[in-house]
Amino acid sequence: MITRILKTLAAFLAAATTVVATPEPPYETIFDHLLQDGVLELTLEADLTELIENRRTEDYLPAVFTFKDAEGIQRRQEIKVKPRGKFRRRVCNFPPLMLNFSKGQLKEQGYLPEYDKLKLVTHCIDDKLTSKEQVMKEYLAYKLYNELTDLSYRVQLVKITYVDSKGKLGKIKRYGFVIEDTDEMAHRLGGKECEDCHGLSDGNLALSVENQVAVFQYMIGNTDWNLDMIRNIKLVQPYDGGEVIPVPYDFDFAGMVDAPYAIPNSGIGQFSIKQRVFQGLKADRRLFERTLQNFMAKKERLIGTVEQSKGLTGEARKGIVDYLNTFFRDIELILEGKQPQDSSLQQAIQEQSKEREPASSSFGK
């Protein structure tokens, strides 16, 4: 009897020990681990000649991705890499890249394996100073939207050493930034990406978020987006079936960034890349005023983010601040019931609810 009790107790203790020893499931992604204050230094080793010269390929190349984490520990990942994008892929000296991490290796290292693809925005232009400024300005656009809302992509500024695995090219050191995996962003927002959400009705779209996106795009002078075409916008469908959330990305054509290759959108009457044209949906005055009041409330933080951008020259920071201040001048006049110098934003305000209509159709022509 005693022997049986002891055996039962031993089995119970063994089971309890097994339960305690079971490792906790990973909650951190590789992007979480890359996030740091300031600039993350990393090395990417691959066949650089193949990446640069065969940029139209959809085939991945083997690569080694190395970085030092926030604790100072050197991390090494065997990944795959390929050129990505459309316009920049064609015109840049160095194409933007897609980083594809091994799900198995991520799992072995304690990361969530589901979020294994990260976009790397590269320097595009060979000239060091010019390329750094362009990267910093577009990175800053993402950070400004982060200041406005968490319904946005997270980004990490990086200083990259590119190493040619074939030994044909010397090391290339340039700035860039890494963008959060889209599925990870959508899950963080409580949903999943909706790739076929074309022609959303007002009842299915988070109108306050859309208005915020549209006013932000107007603020930075970006017309390279379209909600109906889902161009440079990701749509997130909440798991609970709630209203679809639009999340903007890709800001290199913004007037604030002023990329040398950016082309005005003549189709909507834009004559220079710095000319603002509102492309959001028309909305009632109450919604617009709430949105504009939110921007005014965060004016100091937004301007401060620009002024504290150490990667930009003082002249570049001043130019961006001056550009943003023309936006704040006009929305302050609108909130005061006065006529702004640029009337396009005011023309997007409708006094009574009407059928959904893109605001850009009525001005800039």
The total number of residues shown for the chain amounts to 365
- Residue 287 included in any domain: yes
Instruction: Mention every residue, 6+ apart, whose C-beta is less than 8 A from residue 38.
Output: 157
Tell whether 177 and 196 lie within a shared domain: no
Tell whether 178 and 296 lie within a shared domain: no
Tell whether 199 and 339 lie within a shared domain: yes
pLDDT digits (tens, 9 = 90+) for 17-69: 433 444 455 579 999 999 999 999 999 999 999 999 988 888 999 999 999 88
Instruction: State the residue range of the domain holding 145.
Output: 30-183
Backbone angles phi, psi at 31, to 5 degrees: -65, -40
Contact 240, 209 (CB under 8 A): no
* Residue 279: other Cβ atoms inside 10 A: 25
Total tally of structural domains belonging to the chain: 2
Tell whether 271 and 143 lie within a shared domain: no
Tell whether 107 and 217 lie within a shared domain: no
pLDDT digits (tens, 9 = 90+) for 279-309: 999 999 999 999 999 999 999 999 999 999 9
Tell whether 228 and 161 lie within a shared domain: no
Tell whether 208 and 122 lie within a shared domain: no
Tell whether 168 and 222 lie within a shared domain: no
* Identity of residue 192: K
**Angle between helix 285-297 and 314-335 (nearest 10):** 140
Q: Partners of 226 in the beta sheet?
A: 231
- Residue 23 included in any domain: no
Dist. CA 4–CA 310, nearest whole Å = 72
Whole-structure pTM over 0.85, yes or no? Answer: yes
**Residue that is last in its domain, among 135, 153, 183:** 183
Could you tell me the pLDDT band of residue 89, with boundaries at 50, 70 and 90?
confident
Instruction: Mention every residue, 6+ apart, whose C-beta is less than 8 A from residue 288.
Output: 211, 334, 348, 349
- pLDDT at 321 (0 to 100): 98
Taking alpha carbons only, the member of 193, 177, 241 closest to residue 34 is 177
**Two structure tokens written together for 154:** 């997270």
Tell whether 84 and 221 lie within a shared domain: no
Instruction: Mention every residue, 6+ apart, whose C-beta is less than 8 A from residue 174.
Output: 94, 122, 123, 128, 131, 132, 135, 159, 160, 162
* Residue 167: other Cβ atoms inside 10 A: 7
Tell whether 225 and 262 lie within a shared domain: yes
- Residue 4 included in any domain: no
pLDDT at 264 over 60: yes
Please give the C-alpha separations between residue 221 and each of 74, 103, 163, 197, 206, in angstroms, as whole numbers.
40, 38, 36, 26, 22
